Amino acid sequence: MGRIESEYYHHPAILYDRLGDEKKTVFCRLCSHYCEIKDGNIGICLLRKNIGGELYTMTWGRTEGLAIDPIEKKPFYHFKPETRVLSYGTPGCNFRCMNCQNWQLSQAVKYYSDKNLTTKVFLPEHIAEYAAINKIDGISYTYSEPTIFFEYARDTIIECRKNKKTESLFHVFVSNGFFTKETVDIIDKENLLNAINIDLKFMDDQKYKKITGGKLNPVLDSIKRIYDLRDNIHLEIINLVIPDENDKEEDIAKLCEFIVSVSPDIPLHFSRFYPHYKMGNKPQTEYNTLIQAKKIAKSMGIKYVYIGNTSIPGGEDTHCPNCNELLIARSRYGINENNLYINNNKSYCPKCSTEIGIIL
């Protein structure tokens, strides 16, 4: 139902310029690789192809991993607690993370050829129908980098808004943050997203290049731009703490210093590393390392700090930044206790009345 029967389906891309040269080169402005792609070639993501001087995306409609999740799993702890989201991604990514836990999906084209792009296309209107049938609260574009299937995500959002049963759904990206200012401008102008969780992997450009194939500064710029849109887009940040890569106290302090310079109100998630993909020989992150990372972040003024992917007691709990009252107790994507005081759709500490930055 709702699929295009076609071996290959190339969908017109957005955010590119024609350079007007004899090789019909196009300049892609969707992600911060800013690829120049000659006729017949593909970009660094392996998913955008120049056909006769026009740019096409090869991932439109290639839905993978369709699942219903709690919003806390994304993770979002300060956005719509206890809601359910429909999650999906598509094959491919603009990064080549050596530790990727979804590498079979994100690196599918690289390892398994573009035959992964010959699956039947699932139309946006039928994602909206699926969401309506399952009575979910929002849609999360995740598993792989949503920037690389931006047109598909955008069309899904538009279709949801056309459907009376899904017009009130919220939409969130779980992203590596390597999108461009031009992409942010479209998100802002069209009011596409309600929240973004950005993975700030390292505070070292060389580590970014070595481990992800990306760069640091575009991610920092994305965080600043999204925070500037905070009245419309909620922002949270996650950092995967990898042994011997970004787990030193100076690494944590540098990351926290940047976040505080943007805003100490941004929720920060430290996530435990487990061996995956090309980092299969590395050990898991020690609990003490994660606990110390949280202490450093709190000491530097970050108000809401979490430890994820563990069973550390209290690691996922929200406390009042003013009086330390327990507000929300969580356990592995579930909420066990919610003590927030709600007034006029805003959340407050019941003990000291401090307003808490949790969007209901």
Give the pLDDT band of residue 41 (cuts 50, 70, 90).
very high
For strands 341-343 and 346-348, give the pairing. Answer: antiparallel
3-state class (DSSP) for residue 166: coil
- Count of Cβ atoms closer than 10 Å to residue 167 Cβ: 10
Give the pLDDT band of residue 246 (cuts 50, 70, 90).
very high
In a domain, 273, yes or no: yes
In a domain, 336, yes or no: no
State whether 133 and 44 are in the same domain: no
In a domain, 205, yes or no: yes
DSSP code at position 359: B
Residue with structure tokens 């003024």?
Answer: 301
What local confidence, expressed as pLDDT, does residue 104 receive? 86
3-state class (DSSP) for residue 44: coil
State whether 107 and 246 are in the same domain: yes
State whether 46 and 79 are in the same domain: no
State whether 38 and 171 are in the same domain: no
State whether 48 and 68 are in the same domain: no
What local confidence, expressed as pLDDT, does residue 111 receive? 72
In a domain, 126, yes or no: yes
| pLDDT mean over 335-341 | 96
State whether 108 and 238 are in the same domain: yes
> Which residue segment(s) compose the domain that 14 sits in?
3-57
pLDDT exceeds 70 at position 194: yes
Angstrom distances, CA of residue 243 to CA of 228, 238, 289, 333, 341: 32, 16, 9, 24, 39
State whether 31 and 135 are in the same domain: no
State whether 70 and 127 are in the same domain: yes
Span 10-26, pLDDT tens digits: 899 999 999 989 999 99
CATH number at residue 141: 3.20.20.70
For residue 243, which of 212, 178, 287 has the smallest C-alpha distance?
A: 287
Percentage of the chain beyond pLDDT 70 is 96
3-state class (DSSP) for residue 195: strand
Q: How many domains does the chain have?
A: 2
In a domain, 328, yes or no: no
CA distance 248 to 245: 8
Span 103-161, pLDDT tens digits: 888 887 877 666 666 667 889 999 999 999 999 999 999 999 999 999 999 999 999 99
Span 247-281, pLDDT tens digits: 999 999 999 999 999 999 999 999 999 999 999 99
State whether 273 and 306 are in the same domain: yes
In a domain, 360, yes or no: no
State whether 36 and 107 are in the same domain: no
State whether 122 and 214 are in the same domain: yes
What local confidence, expressed as pLDDT, does residue 5 receive? 41
Q: For the chain, give the mean pLDDT.
A: 94
In a domain, 88, yes or no: yes
For residue 290, which of 267, 265, 315 has the smallest C-alpha distance?
A: 315
Of 57, 75, 100, the last residue of a domain is: 57
Please say whether the beta carbons of 161 and 201 come within 8 A.
no
Helix ranges, the chain (H): 103-106, 108-112, 124-133, 150-162, 181-189, 205-207, 216-228, 249-262, 287-299
For residue 162, which of 127, 136, 134, 186 has the smallest C-alpha distance?
A: 127
State whether 154 and 8 are in the same domain: no
pTM of the predicted model, to two decimals? Answer: 0.95
DSSP string covering 74-142, please? Answer: TT-SSBSTT-EEEEEE-S--S---TT-TTHHHHTHHHHH-GGGG-SPEEPHHHHHHHHHHTT-SEEEE-
Of 42, 57, 72, the last residue of a domain is: 57
DSSP code at position 263: -
In a domain, 250, yes or no: yes
